[in-house]
Amino acid sequence: MQLYHHPYTLNSQRVRLALEEKGIDYTSYHVNPITGKNMDASFFRMNPSAKLPVFQNGGHIIFNTIEIIHYVERIAVVSSGGDNVAFSTREVIEWMQKIQEWNSKYFTLLHIPEKYRNYVSKFIRRVVIARMAESPDLAGAYHRKLKEAYEMEEKLKNPDTLKREKEHLIRLLDEVETQLNETAYLAGEEFTMADVMFIPLLGRLALLNLEEEHIRNRPNIAEYWILVQQRPSYKKVIGKHFNGWRRYKTLMKTWFLVRARTMLRRF
């Protein structure tokens, strides 16, 4: 089994948390979207959407995050012989879908200074154009990605985009806060795949220095956040990159990769 992912993307984190929680072994392949590796022809042929993560088991390839997590659950059931391992309940699935509906990408990009956002966007567009020239048989798919990039830039210029995503986030967090007043975890007293979907969202808010605004002012979520950060899966998947001083190292490393790739293309 192979997972094509990047440790900094929310959906990659969700799938990796599920794999760690279920104890499933897999081969990890890093595909960095910031440097345009998801646009390389070899990856693009496998997944023309160029989105991460991608899970492959033999000839079976899955792109959708929730579908990957359900598949991981099935693997865990088969591996255990069905002992003490259960599939997600309808309530868990509903929470997973609700969390996935929030567009973390727009929200994240709108909290990055515009000059850096434009720098990366321009770089990615150049990568797409270059890959299109190298692989003319994929020109149609690359052209769609280029169109998506321009459309995203236009949406990010609209002040209503951030307002809409922030309002969506607040509604979701308020609903979670209410739920956690009744139960220890999102879908009951036991940790589930609903929590796997939600934890990276909190991690992203912490990374953007929005804990005070969105986490600490909700006491149930604040307590839950402290609790889930103690899990071995969190420490391995997210904590090792974003806790304490490590987050500054991670962000600097990401930025320098973009700078280096851009400088190389000038020569």
Reported as type and span, the H/E element at residue 46 is helix 41-46
- The tens digit of pLDDT for each residue in 175-184 reads 999 999 999 9
Pairing mode, if any, of strands 27-30 and 2-5? parallel
Alpha carbon distance 177, 171 (integer Å): 10
- The tens digit of pLDDT for each residue in 5-62 reads 998 899 999 999 999 999 999 999 999 888 889 999 999 899 988 999 999 998 899 9
2's CB contacts (< 8 A; 6+ apart) are: 26, 27, 28, 29, 55, 56, 57
29's CB contacts (< 8 A; 6+ apart) are: 2, 3, 4, 5
Q: Of 109-118, 158-167, 187-196, 244-253, give the lowest mean pLDDT range.
A: 244-253
Residue 130 sits in which domain range? 2-264
3-class SS letters over 68-95 = HHHHHHHHHHHHHCCCCCCCCCHHHHHH
Among left, alpha and beta (phi > 0; psi -120 to 50; other), residue 146 is alpha
Alpha carbon distance 182, 188 (integer Å): 8
Predicted local distance difference test score (pLDDT) of residue 264: 42
- DSSP letter assigned to residue 235: I
Q: What is the mean pLDDT of residues 237-259?
A: 63
How many domains are contained in the chain? 1
Does residue 224 surpass a pLDDT of 60?
yes
Predicted local distance difference test score (pLDDT) of residue 251: 55
85's CB contacts (< 8 A; 6+ apart) are: 22, 73, 76, 77
Phi, psi of 209 (to 5 degrees): 60, 40
Phi, psi of 48 (to 5 degrees): -60, -15
Does residue 248 surpass a pLDDT of 70?
no
Question: Which stretches does DSSP call E strand in the chain?
Answer: 2-5, 27-30, 54-57, 60-62
Question: What are the strands of the beta sheet with 27-30, ordered from one edge?
Answer: 27-30, 2-5, 54-57, 60-62
Q: What percent of the chain has pLDDT over 90?
A: 64
What CATH number is associated with residue 148? Answer: 1.20.1050.130
Alpha carbon distance 68, 54 (integer Å): 8
